[in-house]
Amino acid sequence: MKSLNYLNKYLYKYKGRLLLGVLFICFSNYFGVEMPKVVKNAVNDFLGELNHTNDFQSILMLSLKLAGIYMLFSLLKGFFLFLTRQTIIIMSRLIEYDLKNEIYDQYQKLDYTFYKKNNTGDLMNRISEDVGQVRQYLGPGLMYTINLAILSIMAIYTMMKINVGLTLIALAPLPIMSILIYKVSSKMNALSKFVQQEQSMLSTIVQETFSGIRVIKAYLRELEMQSRFEESSNAFKDKTMKQVKINALFMPTIVFLIGLSTLLAIYYGGLLTYEKIITPGDIVAFIFYINMLTWPFASVGWVTSIIQRASASQERINEFLKITPEIQNVSTEKLEDIEQIEFKNVSYQYAENLPMVLKNISFKVKKGEKIGFIGRTGSGKSTLLHLVMRQIDPTIGEVVLNGKSLKTSNLELYRQMSGVVPQEVFLFSDTIKNNISFGKIDGEVTEKELIEVTTKAHVLHNIEAFPNKFETLLGERGVNLSGGQKQRISIARALIRKPKLLVLDDCLSAVDTETEDVILHGIAESTEDQITVIVSHRISSLRFVDRIYVIEDGEIKEQGSQAELLALRGIYADMYEKQLLEE
Ligand code: ATP
Ligand code: MG
């Protein structure tokens, strides 16, 4: 349970609500405990009254008076119960909100390497499932525990005042109930873990079916998908059925044990009444108290398992919050401009047991220059760009910015000055305008700017053809755009921040050579104070660059201007001829 200590800072933050909640629990229970006393007096008064008179009027008055008091107490008890929930449950929701934000913040801080290692399902679980479990502890968990403590003290004290022996005998079955319910809850939790696993399996199948529906239909795999779903659905059903069976034992157990308590109270209470030690009203009050204590005692078992689950969840959360990103911004130094980027003998491997994907890469690029990297698929081009953007750090060697290691440069400002068009385009489910404005660092994006960048990216004419123009909503991952259109919107997004460093990762692969020509012209226009790095496996994309590096198997095999490379008659010249022939 140690892990839950982490939440104390939040409990402290909302201590006002918590203390108020405890106060309300006290009030609510006070009236709750008073109610059976009213009934007890009523029973005794009625018995007394019936022995003396048969006056209908006076009995009616008596009942009205008692009913009135009982009602009033019920209302007050209910009112304070309402306030309890308003304070403690709301507190738990506020903490849930804070905790979710804290976790989300951490997600944003963590680097690319972390995301490569963890799958989306697990990441989502942390913020939804685990936080949910923790909230159960903070809300119902705390509330019922406090309630149990206060009510037990008040009710048992009142019962003891009536008769100690009767109290002990009548309450004996309740702790057994607590233990049984704890056992049942634990079993349920163990099962619910399996149920959840099946559930997430089922969701994965459904999700994949939706996103892959075109492939499924094209390959006529509907029936197969259906049987996969059925299989998973069956597994889910089986696990749930087990849960239902155990759940079915829950209520009968409680009812049986309360029945037993009541029976004992009546039997032993009857004997005591016969001996005139207590009144018949006391027995009635006892039955009320037993009923009142049922839920709190039942909740002991339930709450214990809630707390166990919450602490397991919190432990996962704590572990996650402790992770420090490998890539961190350590500098607050001002970065005026991007003058020069240099790779000094950089090698990189994704993991220790994997081969080096980049070997001994060295090059230099200055402000105003455009360089290009060309190489076959898997040769390490994207990895190289990740290094340029410091999404990863070199395994060996150093990336140098303006003569200073990139590791000690102000990463935040560096990234603010750079515009990246990644190989895999990602567009948000939002308007075209917002998708492009996403690239702008601060300030409103004007219509003029939008038109300027979309003209350069050669996508304006496409956007204007949509009825809603820039306000056109893109579906999930922008499904209503063609691959080439997405790439060009992504380029516009990078251009709108007027980057000092523009990095293009094979982002013209889905456009034809004519469109490519227009875009490259657009980009080439305003590059005197910009560094441009273009990666491509197409010769034509690199026709405006000053220097070309040919990468093969993670090594720079050839470098120079296009003319120089052609004269070399090596890999580049070979590619050139082949691609020229293709065209
Ligand atoms: P393409 O032209 O197809 O985009 P590329 O030149 O950009 O290829 P990279 O994406 O840099 O190639 O990949 C270089 C090598 O690194 C490949 O062999 C790839 O399998 C490997 N690789 C890439 N990402 C990872 C990763 N996260 N973990 C392990 N290996 C990786
Ligand atoms: Mg790539």
- What confidence score (pLDDT) does residue 309 get? 81
Bridge partners for 552 per DSSP: 555
Bridge partners for 150 per DSSP: none
**Which residue bears the tokens 């019936």?**
50
Query: How far is 530 from 369, CA to CA, in rounded Å?
Result: 7
Counting residues of the chain whose pLDDT is more than 90, the rounded percentage is 10
Query: Which one has a higher pLDDT value, 247 or 77?
Result: 77
161 neighbors 316 (Cβ within 8 angstroms): no
Summarised one tens digit per residue, pLDDT across range 382-416 is 999 999 988 888 888 888 888 888 888 888 888 88
User: What confidence category does residue 448 fall into, taking pLDDT thresholds of 50, 70 and 90?
Assistant: confident
Element (H, E) at 173: helix 173-211
Q: What is the secondary structure of 213-264 as a DSSP string?
A: HHHHHHTT-HHHHHHHHHHHHHHHHHHHHHHHHHHHHHHHHHHHHHHHHHHH
Q: What is the mean pLDDT of residues 168-186?
A: 83
Q: Is the pLDDT of residue 23 over 90?
A: yes
Closest ligand 1 atom to Cα of 383: 11
Summarised one tens digit per residue, pLDDT across range 477-516 is 555 787 888 888 888 898 888 888 889 888 877 777 778 8
Report all structural domains of the chain as residue ranges with CATH numbers, in order of start: 2-321 (1.20.1560.10), 329-417+547-583 (3.40.50.300)
Q: What is the mean pLDDT of residues 552-557?
A: 88
User: What confidence category does residue 306 fall into, taking pLDDT thresholds of 50, 70 and 90?
Assistant: confident
CA of 143 to the centre of ligand 2 (A): 54
Q: Is the CB of 139 under 6 A from ligand 1?
A: no
- What confidence score (pLDDT) does residue 477 get? 52
Mutate to test the pocket of ligand 1, among 118, 383, 389, 421 (most ligand atoms within 8 A of CB): 383
**Which residue bears the tokens 């008596």?**
62
User: What confidence category does residue 19 fall into, taking pLDDT thresholds of 50, 70 and 90?
Assistant: very high
Q: Is the CB of 376 under 6 A from ligand 1?
A: no
- Write down the pTM of the prediction: 0.73
* Residue whose C-alpha is closest to residue 143's, from 188, 87, 181: 87
- What confidence score (pLDDT) does residue 97 get? 92
User: What confidence category does residue 583 fall into, taking pLDDT thresholds of 50, 70 and 90?
Assistant: low
Q: Is the CB of 232 under 6 A from ligand 1?
A: no
Q: Is the CB of 536 under 6 A from ligand 1?
A: no
Q: What is the mean pLDDT of residues 419-433?
A: 86
- What confidence score (pLDDT) does residue 54 get? 67
CA angle 117, 123, 129 (to 5 degrees): 150
- What confidence score (pLDDT) does residue 176 get? 83
- What confidence score (pLDDT) does residue 91 get? 92
User: What confidence category does residue 184 fall into, taking pLDDT thresholds of 50, 70 and 90?
Assistant: confident
Pairing mode, strands 555-560 and 547-552: antiparallel
Q: Indicate the average pLDDT of the chain.
A: 84
Q: What is the secondary structure of 367-407 as a DSSP string?
A: TT-EEEEEE-TTSSHHHHHHHHTTSS--SEEEEEETTEEGG
User: What confidence category does residue 581 fall into, taking pLDDT thresholds of 50, 70 and 90?
Assistant: confident
Q: Is the CB of 350 under 6 A from ligand 1?
A: yes
- What confidence score (pLDDT) does residue 401 get? 86
Closest ligand 1 atom to Cα of 116: 27
The Cα diameter of the chain in Å comes to 126
In terms of DSSP H, where are the helices of 1-141?
Answer: 8-13, 15-52, 56-84, 90-109, 112-117, 120-125, 131-136
Q: Is the pLDDT of residue 251 over 70?
A: yes
CA of 195 to the centre of ligand 1 (A): 37
- What confidence score (pLDDT) does residue 526 get? 67
Determine how many CB atoms are found less than 10 A away from the CB of residue 14. 20
Q: What is the mean pLDDT of residues 560-583?
A: 81
Q: Is the CB of 355 under 6 A from ligand 1?
A: no
Q: At what angle do helices 173-211 and 164-171 cross, to 10 degrees?
A: 30
Q: Is the pLDDT of residue 104 over 80?
A: yes
Residue nearest to atom 2 of ligand 1 (CA): 377
For residue 379, give both structure tokens.
């040769």
Query: Which one has a higher pLDDT value, 6 or 203?
Result: 6
- What confidence score (pLDDT) does residue 119 get? 67
Q: Is the pLDDT of residue 139 over 70?
A: yes
Summarised one tens digit per residue, pLDDT across range 214-234 is 888 888 888 998 999 999 899
CA atoms within 13 A on the CB side of 354: 9
197 neighbors 204 (Cβ within 8 angstroms): no
